[in-house]
Structure 1
Amino acid sequence: MGTATRAGIQAPRTPGASAAVPLDIRGGWRRRRHALAPYWFLLPYFLVFAVFWCWPIIDSALLSLQNTRVNPWGWNLAVNWRRLWVDRAFHAALGNTLTIMAIQVPVMLTLATLLAVALNSPLLKLRPIYRFAFFAPVVVSDAAYSAVFRVLFNGQFGAVNHAFAALGLPTVEWLQDPNAMLSTVMVAMTWRWTGYNAIILLAGLQSIPRDLYEAAAIDGATPFDRFFRITLPLLKPILIFCLVLSVIGTTQLFTEPWLITDRGGPGGGAETLGTYLYKQGFVSMNFGYAAAIAYTIAGMAAVLAALNLVLTRGKQA
């Protein structure tokens, strides 16, 4: 009677069969424990992330729904968001930010692309030195380079106005005139970030196979043809990456207008969303309105990030 019958007679167990199931259970638990081991190592980071990232994000969202101009603070779901539509100072800051985005970012990326092509040329000697020299402005501290540009563009004794006077051109009050202030900020940003983007684009250029250029040269393509028909199309994903990073950075722009033009300049001529957010939150102590501005900036950044995904996915397709 080695097999079970329909009457319920059980078959005899073979030696070692009683230990087979417990061993399987212990083996499965051991595998699950090994699979969970990386998450235990990541747990401290997740805790820090929850305390210093997740909770401030949730708390700022709750703040944007409160009226913080009264004591005690009270819930008013629309007071801060409604103010965004009628606040002329916010509209001016948004306009300045979009102006910088529309002028400075394309100029900077154009210069960065040309610089990357020059740094990638085999005819250039001492290329590592030039690459470091153009990347060096990023290493300089914000306060130091802002102070230098503040002195260079000083209306009375700045080197820029001295050069204009030597050439017979009229001097400009760079740190007083609203239009000139915005130009000063854009020049400073271009000086600092062109080399940074050029190094990123240079890495993209070095990933393009040289065989394509050699085949195009054999077919009689000019350097301009090779640039516009090979370099730019293959560099498009990297350009889009740099574009989105630059645009998102512009939406958060704070250091240059705050330090170079002295807190956005007279009359808010160089006011940006970042400086206006700071003034509302830490000067006027209107934290609810500042939180609404912060979420507006975050929404703009999210839209631009989504645009990056759409454009790069379309390129890959």
Structure 2
Amino acid sequence: MTGWIFLVPAAALILWMNFYPMFQALILSLKTGRGTRLNFADPLWFNYERLFSDEIFKLTVGNTFIYLAIQVPIMLVTALVLANLLNDKNLRFKGLWRTAIFLPAAVSLVSYSLVFRTMFANDGFVNDVLLWLNLVDSPINWLGQTDTARFVIILGLLWRWTGYNMVFYLAALQNIDYSSLEAAKIDGAGSFATFWYVTIPQLKPMILLTAIMSTNGTIQLFDESWNLTQGGPAYTSMTMSHYLFEVSFQRNPNFGYGAALSYVILIMVAVLAAVQMKIGDKRD
């Protein structure tokens, strides 16, 4: 009973602060109306049915999965390579390099988004450098074109989160027995073979964890879409969470439809996490 008594306060707070609002959101997703004048829809699944004909939602789903498919693999591979390089016992100034690469993760999401927005403005630093190097004839409208706007968001995500994931891999590398790496070298394995056949297999649990975390974070991506591009041009860089915010709190707020959107995002996160666990976790 003592253990349960200690658990009750935390469990009660989780139920009250997490699960009760989730249940309320589920009920809300079955209602229609504007503002606080909400009534149960007819049929109850009307908001979910509406999603299939919402072209903007389909576009934001496509945008989000573009970010997911491009940014997450590049970020995790880069973080893994950097962690392996910075784990070298003979590397000088390891603390300095690790801190420098991790620092972007300590920067406020809003602050770094505004800095990137300024850098990639028509009269920003990036265009000034490209013009100075004669690589372009006129400034590029980075944030006003679909492909370049998406590129800026992906670049911002890579800058912000690569060092964060690198720290997880560094922590996992500390638990690898160095003798196994030495044995591989004695057997004639080169640096790449040692990394691929000895290091990577021992990092699989951490790779799975970072893949799930990065996937979930990307599907729920909001800050970069909101602060960097405002979802433009014409919704072509907007994420699902950004659209959820717009539906719920801008123009003509529709809380019922917004709640339905939030549950669709939740289902996507859960399904992708389950798939990754099924594929990546080979433990008996």
Q: Report the TM range for the smaller structure's normalisation.
A: over 0.9
Partner of 1:38: 3
Distance 2:181 2:17 in 1: 50
Q: Say yes or no: does 1:159 pair with 2:141.
A: no
Partner of 1:291: 259
Q: What 5-or-longer segments of structure 2 have no aligned partner? A: none
SS in 1 for 2:176: coil
Partner of 1:133: 100
Greater radius of gyration (CA): 1
Distance 1:112 1:78 in 2: 42
Distance 1:142 1:214 in 2: 41
Partner of 2:189: 221
Contact 1:241–1:308 (Cα < 8 Å) also in 2: no
Q: Say yes or no: does 1:74 pair with 2:39.
A: yes
**What does 1:5-24 correspond to in 2, within 5 Å?**
none
Distance 2:20 2:276 in 1: 28
Distance 1:71 1:154 in 2: 39
Q: What 5-or-longer segments of structure 1 have no aligned partner? A: 1-35
Partner of 1:192: 160
Distance 1:187 1:50 in 2: 38
> How has the CA–CA distance of structure 1 residues 66 and 213 changed in structure 2, closer, same or farther, with 3 Å as cutoff?
same
Distance 2:280 2:75 in 1: 21
Contact 2:205–2:281 (Cα < 8 Å) also in 1: no
One of 89, 96, 105 as aligned partner of 2:72: 105
Structure 1 residue 71: Cα displacement: 7.6
Distance 1:159 1:70 in 2: 43
Distance 1:56 1:135 in 2: 34
Contact 1:80–1:292 (Cα < 8 Å) also in 2: yes
Structure 1 residue 233: Cα displacement: 2.0
Structure 1 residue 116: Cα displacement: 0.5
Give the total of aligned pairs. Answer: 279
Q: What TM-score results when the alignment is normalised by the length of structure 1?
A: 0.84
1:285-306 CA distance string (max 9 Å, x none) = 1111111110111111111222
> How has the CA–CA distance of structure 1 residues 166 and 70 changed in structure 2, closer, same or farther, with 3 Å as cutoff?
closer
Contact 1:204–1:238 (Cα < 8 Å) also in 2: yes
Partner of 2:218: 250
Partner of 1:12: none
Partner of 2:87: 120
Q: What TM-score results when the alignment is normalised by the length of structure 2?
A: 0.93
Structure showing greater relative contact order (alpha-carbon pairs closer than 8 Å, 6 or more residues apart): 2
One of 23, 33, 47 as aligned partner of 2:12: 47
Structure 1 residue 260: Cα displacement: 1.3
Partner of 1:183: 151
1:74-112 CA distance string (max 9 Å, x none) = 212121111110100000100000000000111111111
Contact 1:119–1:131 (Cα < 8 Å) also in 2: yes
SS in 1 for 2:234: helix
Structure 1 residue 70: Cα displacement: 8.4
One of 246, 269, 279 as aligned partner of 2:246: 279
Q: Report which stretch shifted further, 145-154 or 164-173.
A: 164-173
Structure 1 residue 312: Cα displacement: 4.3
SS in 1 for 2:277: helix
Q: Say yes or no: does 1:61 pair with 2:29.
A: no
Distance 1:52 1:221 in 2: 53
Distance 2:52 2:102 in 1: 41
